[in-house]
A and B are shown apart, each in its own frame.
Chain A
Amino acid sequence: MTPNTSQPLERMRDLFPQENAGGKAARNGPRLVFDPTKCSGCALCTTACQAGGKDADSPRTPRIRIFHDSENGSHFALFCQHCLDPQCLRACPNAAISRAEDGIVRINQQLCVHCGLCIAACPEGAPFRAYDGTVVKCDLCEGDPACVAACPNEALVFTRGQKRAWISPLRWLCQSLSFFLLVIVLIGSVCSLNLATLDIACPFGVLQNVFSAKAIVGSTIVAALLLMLVSVLFGRAFCGWICPFGFVLDLVDSILPHKLFRLPAFLRRRINKLGVGAGGLAAAGLAGTQAFCSVCPIGTVCRSYGLNSVMAGAETALIPALAALDLSERRSWCRYLCPVGATLGLAAKIGLVRIEIGAERCKKFSCMRCADACPMGIIPKEMLVQGISPKIPMSECITCLRCVAACPHRAASIRFVWQKKRTPDGTLPKPTEPTERNGNGPKELSS
Chain B
Amino acid sequence: MHPYHDLLLHYGGYGCVECGKCVALCPMAETARPFSRDKSPRGLVQQVLDAVALDEMPALRDCLQCRSCSQTCPASVDVAGLISALRTQAGYAAATCMVCGRPLMPAPALSYLHRAVGEAYEQKLVYPSLCPDCKRRAYVRNNS
CA of A75 to CA of B95, assembled, Å = 31
Residues on A with beta carbons closer than 8 Å to the beta carbon of B137: 67
Interface residues of B in 98-144 (CB under 8 A from A): 98-105, 107-117, 119-123, 125-130, 132-144
CA of A193 to CA of B24, assembled, Å = 74
Residue B84 at the chain A interface, CB threshold 8 Å: no
Residue B29 at the chain A interface, CB threshold 8 Å: yes
Instruction: Report the minimal beta-carbon distance from A45 to chain B, rounded to whole angstroms.
Output: 15
Residue B7 at the chain A interface, CB threshold 8 Å: no
- Give per-residue flags for A117-130: 1 if the beta carbon is below 8 A from chain B beta carbons, else 0: 10111011100000
Instruction: Judge whether B141 and A120 touch: CB under 8 Å.
Output: no
Instruction: Judge whether B138 and A74 touch: CB under 8 Å.
Output: no
Instruction: Report the minimal beta-carbon distance from A213 to chain B, rounded to whole angstroms.
Output: 45
Residues on B with beta carbons closer than 8 Å to the beta carbon of A254: none
Instruction: Judge whether A120 and B115 touch: CB under 8 Å.
Output: no
User: Assuming A385-B125, A446-B111, is B64 touching A115 (CB within 8 A)?
Assistant: yes
Q: Which of A69, A358, A381 contacts B141 (CB 8 A)?
A: A69
Instruction: Judge whether A120 and B113 touch: CB under 8 Å.
Output: yes
Return the chain A residue nearest B61 by Cβ: A446
Residues on A with beta carbons closer than 8 Å to the beta carbon of B142: 387-389, 423-424, 426-427
Q: Which of B64, B104, B138 contacts A429 (CB 8 A)?
A: B138
Q: Which of B101, B128, B136 contacts A67 (CB 8 A)?
A: B136
Interface residues of B in 75-101 (CB under 8 A from A): 93-101
Return the chain B residue nearest A441 by Cβ: B96
Residue B33 at the chain A interface, CB threshold 8 Å: yes
Interface residues of A in 366-396 (CB under 8 A from B): 381-382, 385-389
Interface size class of chain A, counting residues whose CB lies under 8 Å from the partner chain: 35 or more
Instruction: Judge whether A113 and B96 touch: CB under 8 Å.
Output: no
Residue B40 at the chain A interface, CB threshold 8 Å: no
Instruction: Judge whether B116 and A121 touch: CB under 8 Å.
Output: yes
Residues on A with beta carbons closer than 8 Å to the beta carbon of B127: 123, 386-387
User: Assuming A120-B128, A123-B135, is B103 touching A441 (CB within 8 A)?
Assistant: yes
- Give per-residue flags for A411-447: 1 if the beta carbon is below 8 A from chain B beta carbons, else 0: 0000000000001101111111011011111100111
Instruction: Judge whether B95 and A364 touch: CB under 8 Å.
Output: no
Residue A91 at the chain B interface, CB threshold 8 Å: yes
CA of A70 to CA of B87, assembled, Å = 40
CA of A17 to CA of B102, assembled, Å = 39
Instruction: Judge whether A5 and B144 touch: CB under 8 Å.
Output: no
Instruction: Judge whether B98 and A429 touch: CB under 8 Å.
Output: yes
Interfacial residues, chain B to chain A (CB-CB below 8 A): 25-31, 33-34, 64, 66-68, 93-105, 107-117, 119-123, 125-130, 132-144
Interfacial residues, chain A to chain B (CB-CB below 8 A): 1-3, 5-6, 9, 11, 36, 67, 69, 72, 74-76, 78, 85, 87, 90-91, 93-94, 113-117, 119-121, 123-125, 133, 358, 360, 362, 364, 381-382, 385-389, 423-424, 426-432, 434-435, 437-442, 445-447
A-B contact list, 14 entries, CB within 8 Å: A1-B33, A5-B115, A67-B136, A115-B27, A117-B31, A386-B125, A387-B142, A388-B142, A389-B143, A429-B98, A438-B101, A438-B102, A441-B96, A447-B108
